[in-house]
Structure 1
Amino acid sequence: MRAPAPAWAADLNGETIEAVRATLGTALIDAVDQVGEVALYVERDAIVTVLTALRDTPGLEYQQLMEIAGVDYPDRPERFEVVYCLLSLTRNHRLHVHVSTDDVKPVPSVTGIWPVAGWLEREVYDMYGVLFAGNADLRRILTDYGFRGHPQRKDFPLSGFVEMRYSEEAKRVVYQPVQLAQDFRNFDFQSPWEGAQYVLPGDEKGMVPEAKGAPTPLKADEIVKADAPSKPQAGSTTHEPKTTDSTAQTGAGEPDPGNQRQDKPRDSDVVPTKGGGQNQ
């Protein structure tokens, strides 16, 4: 019968930091509890000794190397950090080991402890340019052959240095300097629910009430009710209404209200066809 997996416990962080301080000694620069996880900052040249002790020391036993990540801090003298993510299967606990370096000083390779580190170190080298002493196959792994620069550096341009395309003349993929069809555009990510601080074309239509009682962004003295009579503008002439309740302007009772037979022209502009009608 298999033993149940150990349950995760929050108080393991304090016990782990105490055990690490007693085990690593001067190789440990600092050990902190950050966002619920243990982060160890160690000397670069002692990384192999540190990781071996974390793997083999009873009470620590971090058997698996889960990931090697790179971080770029351009303002620091040693701008890069290499982060080793470890997992203890027996304790069901994780921690991070940090070392600092630059693009010249190599970090000792840990492929002798975990062979999987070979591919992970290649990723950090490809993305950041960090060198690893002792890696027998330190080549690019994510970018193409002949790629210039390291994409995850903060000073690497978003467009890169070169671009590739298929050439019909050469019948192969060719590389050429980057040529942007248009400049980078500025996008507005402001939430429309919070209200924009500018007026776009067409927004003035929304400044007029749609119906009686409809909500409006106008001030109280600018609101015009939908059923209120319109005021004539300055300089305009007043016209009589088109409709009236009186029969004086309707033509009722007049002897010739218009549109009689004798009022029609004798010669019509439309000549009937043989069928007897203009639509035949």
Structure 2
Amino acid sequence: MTEEKLQDDIGVTQSASVSAEVAGLREKFGDQVLSATAGLDCEVVVLARECIVEACHYLKNAHGFEQMMDLCGVDKLAYPGHAEDAPRFEVVYNILSVSRNKRLRLKVGANERDLVDSVTEVWPTANWFERECFDMYGVIFNHHPDLRRLLTDYGFEGYPLRKDFPLTGRVEMFFDESQWRCVYRPNQLEERVLVERTWPGVDRG
């Protein structure tokens, strides 16, 4: 396969030749490489969810991406132009090759009950990143060694960074003196009556 044909097939928008990493992923995983584009800071490769662990092993061992710098979630529920039949969530992996001074961004799509295989076996630092993504978005990471909430309380319900989560939350927590513990109750928000602003020197009547 020629380099020009490879660029056409995977949608790389770089002016330079396709990178060795993208070419290698395409050769090894074929149609599971859904797209590859030149981002503002690094190449962005969208992969099929089923191959994420194997792809990460490949990038670490064959191309020297020793570190995962970050893993985060994205809720595309209200994203402009997002197709209704496309996965609602994205899991984004930012990886770094220190030895080659190169970054790469991987993305996989997932719906609410889809399982995304954990990459903790590739980069142990993914442990807490995946827990945070689970806590905030509800993405379930299969084979994770300890998939518990990380930032919210143990009894918390819902996922705060989902686009359909209410801005004020659903409950509030307070300390109950009679029970001597923290308890939850439904939000009781009172409507604020705003007073018209006045300025110095204005006759206030």
TM-score when normalising by structure 2: 0.78
CA distance in 2, matches of 1:13, 1:90: 21
Q: Structure 2 CA distance, aligned partners of 1:46 and 1:171?
A: 49
One-letter amino acid of the counterpart of residue 76, structure 2: Y
Which of 152, 156, 163 is 2:161 aligned to? 152
Change (3 A) 1:119 1:19: same
Bigger strand fraction: 2
Match of 1:173 among 179, 182, 196: 182
Decide whether the 8 Å contact of 2:42 with 2:103 is kept in 1: yes
The structure 1 residue matched to 2:46, chosen from 6, 26, 41, is 41
Aligned residues: 180
* Equivalent of residue 53 in structure 1, options 45, 50, 58: 58
Question: Residue 67 of structure 2 corresponds to which residue in structure 1?
Answer: 64
CA distance in 2, matches of 1:100, 1:72: 10
Instruction: Give the equivalent residue in structure 2 for 1:121.
Output: 130
Deviates more, 1:20-29 or 1:163-172: 20-29
Structure 2 residue 93 is matched with structure 1 residue 88: no
Aligned positions of 1:187-198 closer than 5 A: none
Give CA deviations for 1:178-226 in whole Å, capped at 9, x if unaligned.
Answer: 11133598xxxxxxxxxxxxxx888xx8xxxxxxxxxxxxxxxxxxxxx
Aligned to 1:79: 88
Give the drift of 1:109: 0.9
| Aligned 8 A contact 1:107 1:131 in 2 | yes
Question: How many Å separate the matches in 2 of 1:159 and 1:153?
Answer: 13
Change in Cα spacing, 1:11 to 1:115, as seen in structure 2 (3 Å) is farther
Task: Determine the C-alpha separation between the residues in 2 that align with 1:25 and 1:174.
Answer: 52
Equivalent residue, structure 1, for 2:19 = 15
Tell me, in whole angstroms, the C-alpha distance in 2 between the residues paired with 1:108 and 1:63: 19
Pair 1:182 & 2:186 matched: no
* Structure 1, gaps ≥5 residues long: 1-9, 186-199, 206-280
Within 1, Cα distance between the matches of 2:54 and 2:164?
Answer: 33
Contiguous gaps of at least 5 residues in structure 2: 1-13, 79-83
1:12–1:90 distance in 2 versus 1, CA, 3 Å = farther
CA distance, structure 1, for counterparts of residue 148 and residue 163 of structure 2: 21
Residue of structure 2 in register with 1:32 after alignment: 37
User: What aligned pairs does 1:155-234 form with structure 2 within 5 A after superposition?
Assistant: 155-182=164-191
**Residue deviations 1:229-280, cap 9 Å, x none?**
xxxxxxxxxxxxxxxxxxxxxxxxxxxxxxxxxxxxxxxxxxxxxxxxxxxx
Aligned pairs (5 A) from 1:93-108: 93-108=102-117
Contact 2:32 2:51 in 1 (8 A): yes
- Partner residue in 1 for 2:11: none
Are the counterparts in 1 of residues 137 and 159 from structure 2 also a CA contact under 8 Å? Answer: yes
The answer to whether the 8 Å contact 1:13/1:38 transfers is no
AA paired with 2:67? Answer: Q
Which structure would you say has the larger RCO, counting Cα contacts within 8 Å and 6 or more residues apart? 2
RMSD: 2.7
Q: Which runs of 4+ in 1 moved over 4 A?
A: 10-14
Could you tell me how far apart the structure 1 residues matched to 2:193 and 2:143 are? Answer: 42
**Aligned-residue identity in percent:** 40
Q: Distance in 1 between matches of 2:192 and 2:23?
A: 54
Shift of 1:61: 1.5
Normalising by structure 1, report the TM-score.
Answer: 0.58
Cα deviation, residue 85, structure 1: 0.6
